Chains A and B, each alone.
Chain A
Amino acid sequence: MTQDRILMAHGSGGLMSQRLIDEVFKQAWQNEIMEPMLDGAILQMPAGRLAMSTDSFVITPLFFPGGDIGKLSICGTVNDLLACGATPLYLSTAFIIEEGLPIAELRLIAESMAKTAREVGVKLVTGDTKVVEKGSCDGVFINTTGIGIIPEGIDYRPPRIQPGDKVIVTGYVGDHGLAILAQREGLTFSTPVVSDCAALYQLEEMVAKYGDAIKCMRDPTRGGLATVLNEIAVQAGIGIRVKEAAIPVAPAVKGACDMLGMDPLYMANEGKMVMFVAAAAARDLLFDLHQLSPTANAAIIGQVDAGPSGLVLIETELGAERILGILEGEHVPRIC
């Protein structure tokens, strides 16, 4: 290709579209399923229940410390499938590209997606590209839809959660949200905070080992840990009690959040899981999580109670209890 930027013609379905697909995407993502370049992917599925998840990624900036929109688009959907207890197998990807985007950036994104998919063990099998006029999107929007197989006997959902179950979070919270904010707002932090963007495929081992001792998992993305806990408390009709001191927050994240008046418990995470586990298995599961690098800082942060139903309470350093509510409106830097 001779152009160095995306043009409307790249989206018109003709020669330039083909070249774009061949030279950017196919190059990065060679696999036997995509190779025939049919309208859809023909997949051989093992028997059993399928999990399917879709997510769209509109993040700005496209490249940030710890990742990029491509890596994120793979990790996000993979984590959603893992949360269902599924083994992720195949992903589709759809791109909406802004006219004028440097093709070099698109290449980097495609390569990043290929690399991430390889690491995780999923195949990118089908896709679509569209080009929109300048100003109609922020560089590129990506949708990924994934399917995976749920092993026999695995049933992860909120109604399975019982009073007495423990709540585990697999590591430091708030990193991704802060990394993005710092980058986007041009905050002059030469900050060591890096997005935690990662696909937690190692959790497949935990699913295999602990089976139904795990009741439910969810990844705390937008809205952060607090929001996910509240969602689950409502869906499961249970109460959750956590201890502030037990929630892992990196000191650098806490410091930056303090400065901005933001709360790490409401900031997005892209490489973490919240897990509800039977009390008897919690200690062992925690030990196993600590042996894996992405979950080395996992912690038991609290437990499930019968009530107050739908409410999340947090114990402060004084030993008092207060409500840990859901995120309302936008989370913005404050001065008060």
Chain B
Amino acid sequence: MSNDVKDYQQQLLQAIQSFNGSASLMEVCGTHTMAIAKSGIRGLLPPNIKLLSGPGCPVCVTSQGDIDAVILMVQQKDLILVTFGDMMRVPGTYSSLQEERSQGADIRVAYSPLDALRVARENPQKEVVFLGIGFETTTPTIAITLEQAVKEGLKNFSVFSLHKVVPPALELIFSDTDIKVDGLICPGHVSAVIGVKPYEILTDKYKKPCVITGFETQDILEGIYMLLQQLKKDEARVEIQYGRVVKPEGNPIARQTMERVFKPAAARWRGLGMIPASGLELREEYAGMDTRLKFGIPEIEELPIKGCACGEVLTGKISPPDCALFGRACTPLKPVGPCMVSHEGSCAAFYRYTPVKGRG
């Protein structure tokens, strides 16, 4: 890094550190949680600036009932499950995908949903299920995969959709008077798909500044600085810090692709409960590739975990160390709730990266 850039970053940091007044800024993206934790910036902020972690980790917000349903499916049916690596360790009520694999279930980690198509082509005698997790960044890629599967006439491929969309959760958070959030660090890659429009309700109705931010340390510094500048001037606009990737109109092709394949449905978010129109299910034309319909997957009730405060952590009401289980009964090695299991859950990020005083 050149000295000029280093100086610039230090200037941003100093400007942030000398902010007068208090600000609670929330990010709603697991990758932001990680990037912020890895950069160490939290430790450099003064006590009057708080960085909260909202429900941005699609793994974290997957309801336990849904995880149990997936596990039950691999236990009962002879199929190949293909999933993103993030889901392997998430604990259901009694087991996890990692556990099930060690018991003989055919579960494979993929980097791309297209890998699942390859598995389906190579194993025509077996049913292949892709576990669809993710927000608007990832969902278009699964939509394209499904369209490709139809094109190829694959009969042994289906998607178990646990996909969700971010804006309804944001509205819920901002309308909750218990949660004090002064500004939103908007998820850079989700925004690359959805554009600025969905955030306008937050600026117009709730008068909170929103800055669409990238993931490098410099991006985060710039994003926080831009939010604080707006707060200083009593503004509430949607700004794009991550302009090199995000256009105001987002990616219309990605949105259209999602809309062709998926339709909104109510979905259960861990910690937030049922949110209308916040989930995505496959449209009727894709019923043949909808795992839930194909295999008759039942809805499973979510059993609350005693002592687990993931819900409050996810809504930014408490910080990870405030949870009674944090660092004691709940650690990355033996996680209780998804906030600790997921690599980028708030609790995992906090535990891993914050020096000693942050630990339980």
A: residues with CB less than 8 A from B are 185, 187, 245, 259-261, 308, 311, 313, 315-323, 325, 328-330, 332-336
B109 partner residues in chain A, CB cutoff 8 A: 332-333
Chain B residues numbered 174-218 whose CB sits less than 8 Å from any CB in chain A: 217
**Would A329 and B111 count as touching, CB distance under 8 A?**
no
**Would B39 and A320 count as touching, CB distance under 8 A?**
yes
A313 partner residues in chain B, CB cutoff 8 A: 355
Is B89 located at the chain interface by the 8 A CB criterion?
yes
Name which of B40-48, B144-152, B258-266 contacts chain A. B40-48
Taking the closest CB of chain A, its distance from the CB of B352, in whole angstroms, is 5
Task: List the B residue with the shortest CB-CB distance to A325.
Answer: B352
Pick the residue among A311, A321, A335 that contacts B134 (CB under 8 A): A335
Task: List the A residue with the shortest CB-CB distance to B108.
Answer: A185
Chain B residues numbered 63-88 whose CB sits less than 8 Å from any CB in chain A: 84-86, 88
A-B contact pairs, 24 of them (CB 8 A): A245-B1, A259-B111, A308-B355, A317-B1, A317-B217, A318-B221, A319-B40, A320-B39, A321-B43, A322-B37, A322-B353, A322-B354, A323-B352, A323-B353, A323-B354, A329-B333, A330-B88, A330-B98, A333-B85, A335-B84, A335-B85, A335-B86, A336-B58, A336-B86
Is B303 located at the chain interface by the 8 A CB criterion?
no
Pick the residue among A260, A317, A330, A335 that contacts B39 (CB under 8 A): A317
Distance in angstroms between the alpha carbons of A23 and B333 in the assembled complex: 49
Given A328-B333, A334-B343, A335-B111, A320 and B88 contact (CB-CB distance below 8 Å): no
A-B CB proximity, top 5 nearest: A320-B40, A332-B85, A322-B353, A316-B40, A335-B84
Is B238 located at the chain interface by the 8 A CB criterion?
no
Given A308-B356, A322-B38, A323-B352, A333 and B111 contact (CB-CB distance below 8 Å): yes
Given A330-B88, A335-B111, A336-B343, A318 and B352 contact (CB-CB distance below 8 Å): no
Given A318-B9, A323-B355, A332 and B88 contact (CB-CB distance below 8 Å): yes
Known contacts A318-B9, A329-B98; can you find 20 more A-B pairs with CB under 8 A? A308-B355, A311-B355, A315-B40, A316-B40, A316-B217, A317-B39, A319-B40, A320-B43, A322-B353, A322-B354, A322-B355, A323-B355, A325-B352, A329-B333, A330-B88, A334-B85, A335-B84, A336-B30, A336-B58, A336-B344
A316 partner residues in chain B, CB cutoff 8 A: 38-40, 217
**Would B13 and A261 count as touching, CB distance under 8 A?**
no
**Would A261 and B333 count as touching, CB distance under 8 A?**
no
B38 partner residues in chain A, CB cutoff 8 A: 316, 322
B1 partner residues in chain A, CB cutoff 8 A: 245, 317
Task: List the A residue with the shortest CB-CB distance to B331.
Answer: A328
**Would B89 and A260 count as touching, CB distance under 8 A?**
no
Taking the closest CB of chain A, its distance from the CB of B355, in whole angstroms, is 6
Taking the closest CB of chain B, its distance from the CB of A79, in whole angstroms, is 28
**Would B44 and A320 count as touching, CB distance under 8 A?**
yes
Distance in angstroms between the alpha carbons of A335 and B343 in the assembled complex: 10
Distance in angstroms between the alpha carbons of A316 and B221 in the assembled complex: 14
Number of B residues near A (Cβ < 8 Å) is 40
Most buried by A among B109, B111, B344: B111
Taking the closest CB of chain B, its distance from the CB of A189, in whole angstroms, is 11
Distance in angstroms between the alpha carbons of A320 and B42 in the assembled complex: 9
A320 partner residues in chain B, CB cutoff 8 A: 39-44
Is B229 located at the chain interface by the 8 A CB criterion?
no
Is B332 located at the chain interface by the 8 A CB criterion?
yes
A322 partner residues in chain B, CB cutoff 8 A: 37-38, 40, 43, 352-355
Task: List the B residue with the shortest CB-CB distance to A307.
Answer: B356
Is B158 located at the chain interface by the 8 A CB criterion?
no
Task: List the A residue with the shortest CB-CB distance to B345.
Answer: A336
B: residues with CB less than 8 A from A are 1, 9, 13, 30-31, 34, 37-44, 57-59, 84-86, 88-89, 98, 109-111, 134, 138, 217, 221, 332-333, 342-344, 352-356
Taking the closest CB of chain B, its distance from the CB of A227, in whole angstroms, is 13
Distance in angstroms between the alpha carbons of A335 and B142 in the assembled complex: 13
**Would B111 and A260 count as touching, CB distance under 8 A?**
yes
Distance in angstroms between the alpha carbons of A240 and B37 in the assembled complex: 19
**Would B86 and A334 count as touching, CB distance under 8 A?**
yes
Distance in angstroms between the alpha carbons of A325 and B31 in the assembled complex: 18
Task: List the A residue with the shortest CB-CB distance to B137.
Answer: A335
**Would B39 and A336 count as touching, CB distance under 8 A?**
no
Task: List the A residue with the shortest CB-CB distance to B30.
Answer: A336
A332 partner residues in chain B, CB cutoff 8 A: 85, 88, 109
Most buried by A among B31, B41, B355: B355
Taking the closest CB of chain A, its distance from the CB of B216, in whole angstroms, is 9
Distance in angstroms between the alpha carbons of A136 and B206 in the assembled complex: 63
Distance in angstroms between the alpha carbons of A335 and B132 in the assembled complex: 12
Distance in angstroms between the alpha carbons of A260 and B343 in the assembled complex: 13
Taking the closest CB of chain B, its distance from the CB of A288, in whole angstroms, is 29
Distance in angstroms between the alpha carbons of A336 and B89 in the assembled complex: 14
Distance in angstroms between the alpha carbons of A316 and B34 in the assembled complex: 13
**Would A318 and B217 count as touching, CB distance under 8 A?**
yes
B41 partner residues in chain A, CB cutoff 8 A: 318, 320
Task: List the B residue with the shortest CB-CB distance to A316.
Answer: B40
A325 partner residues in chain B, CB cutoff 8 A: 332, 352
Most buried by A among B13, B38, B40, B355: B40
**Would B217 and A336 count as touching, CB distance under 8 A?**
no
Pick the residue among A259, A261, A317 that contacts B85 (CB under 8 A): A261
Given A335-B84, A335-B86, A335-B111, A318 and B59 contact (CB-CB distance below 8 Å): no
A321 partner residues in chain B, CB cutoff 8 A: 40, 43, 355
Most buried by B among A187, A330, A334, A335: A335
Taking the closest CB of chain B, its distance from the CB of A188, in whole angstroms, is 10
Distance in angstroms between the alpha carbons of A318 and B58 in the assembled complex: 28
